[in-house]
Amino acid sequence: MQDIVIIGAGIVGSFLAHDLSKYDLKVTVIDKENDIANGTTMANSAIIHTGYDPEDGTLKSELNVKGAKMYPEICKELKIDYQKCGAYVVACDKEEIKILDQLKNRADKRNIRAHYMEREEIVKNEVNISDDVIKAISFPDTAIIYPWQCAIALMEEAVINGVDLILGEKVYKIDEKQGFFTVYTEKKAINTKVIINAAGCGAEKIANMIEKSPFHITYKKGEYFVLSKQANKFVNHIIYPVPTKVGKGVLAVPTTHGNILLGPNSNICESEDLSTTSEGLEYVRNHLNRIVKNIPYHEVIRSYSGLRPTGNNGDFYIKPSYKNKNIIHLGCIDSPGLASAPAISAYVIQEYIKKCLDLLPKRKYVKRKAPPVMNQLCEKEKNDMVKTQPLYGKIVCKCEKISYQEIVDAIHSPCGAKTIKAIKKRVRPGMGKCQGGFCEIEVAKILSKELNIPLAQVLYDEKHSNLGTEAKQW
């Protein structure tokens, strides 16, 4: 019998798994995907908003402000990327300046640092700002993280401390018995006292397995372009237009690895459809023109889209089931879900889990050891690494300069990468200009060797995504 089953290994599920692993509990995390952070956490803007945007009195406003303040400490502890690059919300006319004033008001009330900037000062820091921009608010504490790395690091530490992680299995039924539940996947039936429904876009489906879902999710698709590192000077801060009812608008966002993201649009879609469309990307192009100029589209190396599970009233839905208080629904976690995630976890534990279970701290809690990242070392440190393990000196990905051994490390880490995409998320081969044209085969060969499976059986992502078949059999 488990104490808790968390359904969903996105950023929220990972924070909960991590935070709950500090207590003497038996915790299992289940996700239908083949890797951690493969749904909503896979594709978003990677921004830790400071929390000036959500309306007063919402759960979003409370948890966003709290969550954003928790990140620096967490990222330091886990030794993961966190960059306070700051953000400019820019206005192009008088109407928009009025909205800036509202934001400034809200920020002041919430103790979020914010100050006005006139055009002259904006241009000094951002040469590619659009000619129409007349005023801005700078939010110096807005930060960026590397969401996959964050979720994976959290889950790794959870797994080291005894959390059971089941990937690639879909929950299709939940039975309620006297005092406990049984969660069914294709392969397993798991008994548990408490269920946390952190299934992101799938949360409503999970809720419907228990009751008529008390919340309704609409999928909102956002499409993005990614610019190569050659374009990394294009903007230095996150550049936002003023927010509208529809959302935060189309942004230009630096990433922690020196790329730039352009997007997203926001389109309601019927199914969990992750395709990009020429109309969607055209929309991104058109709306970007309002806030920035000289956009280096020749440096586009990829486009992608992400789904946001949006609720009816615009707020998160975080409540126990009406039927049984031992099921806690985390529905409608759209933006600012990433920024709020640590606070969501703390809130759920404090408000609900404590009422269902006794939380006794573990006697011994083991810290995760972060894998070496060769690119972050100086030449002497690099050479020391190569001396102890020569394969740190064999470069597999030319564009991102990723070594063979870093990929091997990722495969054999606590939540080891089992697919080409999982390697990409952890160590980034194929994230450069050639987009894996050269190194994807090498990565597949390393997976084949380390996992001891034939090359043709190496998976790109989900099951049935294997590389191919042997053309000429032995």
Partner 1 sequence: MIKELICIICPMGCHLQIEMDDMKNINLVTGNSCPRGEKYACKELIHPERILTSTVRIEGAIHPMLPVMTDKAVAKDKMFDVMKKLKEVRIKAPVKYEDIIIENVCDTGANIIASRSMDKYEKL
Partner 2 sequence: MVNIDVAVIGGGSAGMAAALSAKENGVENILILEQGNELGGILQQCIHNGFGLQVYNEELTGPSFAQKLIDEVNNNNIDYRLETTVISITKDKQITYVNEKEGYVSVKAKSIILACGCYERNRGAISIPGVRVKGIYTAGEAQKLLNIENILVGKRVFILGSGDIGLIMARRMMLEGAKVLGVAEIMPYSNGLMRNIVQCLKDFDIPLYLSHTIIDVQGKEHVEKITIGKVDKNKKLIKGTEKDFWVDTLLLAVGLIPETSLTQTAGIQLDAHTKGPLVNDRFETTVPGIYACGNALHVHDLVDFVTMESKLVGRFVAEDILSYTTTPNLINVFPLEGVNYVLPQRLNKDVKEKVTFYFRVNKPYKESKVEFLDGDRVIKSVKKKYMLPANMERITLKKDEINNISFDLKVRVSEI
Indicate which residues carry an active-site annotation.
Answer: 49
Q: Between 212 and 474, name the residue whose CB sits nearer to partner 1.
A: 474
In angstroms, give the least distance from the CB of 468 to partner 2: 4
Q: Which of 92, 97, 123, 455 binds partner 2 (CB under 8 A)?
A: 455
Question: Of 410-439, which residues contact partner 2 (CB under 8 A)?
Answer: 433-438
- C-beta atoms surrounding 43 within 10 Å: 22
Q: Which of 465, 434, 469 is nearest to 455 (CA)?
A: 469
Q: Are the C-beta atoms of residues 470 and 448 closer than 8 Å to each other?
A: no
CB-neighbour burial class of residue 364 (10 A; exposed 0-12, middle 13-18, buried 19+): exposed
Question: Of 151-170, which residues contact partner 2 (CB under 8 A)?
Answer: none
In angstroms, give the least distance from the CB of 41 to partner 2: 16
Is 66 among the residues that bind partner 2 (CB under 8 A)?
A: no
Place of tokens 């609409």: 218
Is 376 among the residues that bind partner 2 (CB under 8 A)?
A: no
Q: Are the C-beta atoms of residues 197 and 328 closer than 8 Å to each other?
A: yes
Is 462 among the residues that bind partner 2 (CB under 8 A)?
A: yes
Is 473 among the residues that bind partner 1 (CB under 8 A)?
A: yes
Is 304 among the residues that bind partner 2 (CB under 8 A)?
A: yes
Partner that binds at residue 449, options partner 1, partner 2, none, CB closer than 5 to 8 Å by kind: partner 1
User: What tokens appear for 351 in the block?
Assistant: 């408000």
Q: Between 12 and 396, name the residue whose CB sits nearer to partner 2.
A: 396
Q: Are the C-beta atoms of residues 62 and 31 closer than 8 Å to each other?
A: no
Is 383 among the residues that bind partner 2 (CB under 8 A)?
A: yes
Q: Which of 245, 364, 380, 472 binds partner 1 (CB under 8 A)?
A: 472
In angstroms, give the least distance from the CB of 442 to partner 1: 12
Is 258 among the residues that bind partner 2 (CB under 8 A)?
A: no
Q: Between 43 and 107, name the residue whose CB sits nearer to partner 2.
A: 43
Q: Which stretch binds partner 2 (CB under 8 A): 234-242, 257-265, 313-321, 391-399?
A: 391-399
Q: Which of 387, 449, 456, 468 binds partner 1 (CB under 8 A)?
A: 449
Q: Which of 19, 401, 416, 451 binds partner 2 (CB under 8 A)?
A: 401
Question: Of 214-253, which residues contact partner 2 (CB under 8 A)?
Answer: 225-226, 230
The DSSP code for 289 is T
Is 452 among the residues that bind partner 1 (CB under 8 A)?
A: no
Is 178 among the residues that bind partner 1 (CB under 8 A)?
A: no
CB-neighbour burial class of residue 58 (10 A; exposed 0-12, middle 13-18, buried 19+): middle
Q: Between 137 and 301, name the residue whose CB sits nearer to partner 2.
A: 301
Q: What phi, psi does 319 have (nearest 5°)?
A: -155, 155
In angstroms, give the least distance from the CB of 459 to partner 2: 8
Residues 6+ apart with CB under 8 A from 425: 35, 37, 42, 148, 149, 152, 417
- Between CA 8 and CA 55 the distance in angstroms is 27
| Binding residues for partner 2, total number by CB under 8 A | 52
Is 184 among the residues that bind partner 2 (CB under 8 A)?
A: no
207-244 burial, b if ≥16 CB within 10 A, otherwise e? bebbeebbbebebbbbbbbbbbbebbebbebbbbbbee
Prior bond of 320 cis (ω within 30°): no
Distance (Å) of CA 288 to CA 5, 246, 297: 42, 16, 12
Residues 6+ apart with CB under 8 A from 5: 27, 28, 29, 30, 181, 183, 190, 192, 194, 195, 196
Residues 6+ apart with CB under 8 A from 275: 305
The full length of the chain comes to 474
In angstroms, give the least distance from the CB of 439 to partner 1: 17
Q: Which of 277, 293, 372, 414 binds partner 2 (CB under 8 A)?
A: 277
Is 469 among the residues that bind partner 1 (CB under 8 A)?
A: no
Residues 6+ apart with CB under 8 A from 197: 7, 8, 203, 206, 207, 327, 328, 329, 330, 331
- Between CA 189 and CA 180 the distance in angstroms is 12
Q: Between 58 and 375, name the residue whose CB sits nearer to partner 2.
A: 375
Q: Which stretch binds partner 2 (CB under 8 A): 51-59, 243-251, 261-269, 274-282?
A: 274-282
Q: Which of 276, 310, 321, 345 binds partner 2 (CB under 8 A)?
A: 276
Interacting residue ranges for partner 1, rule: CB under 8 A: 449, 471-474
Interacting residue ranges for partner 2, rule: CB under 8 A: 225-226, 230, 273-278, 281, 300-304, 379, 382-383, 386-387, 390-391, 393-395, 398-399, 401, 433-438, 440-441, 445, 455-456, 460-472
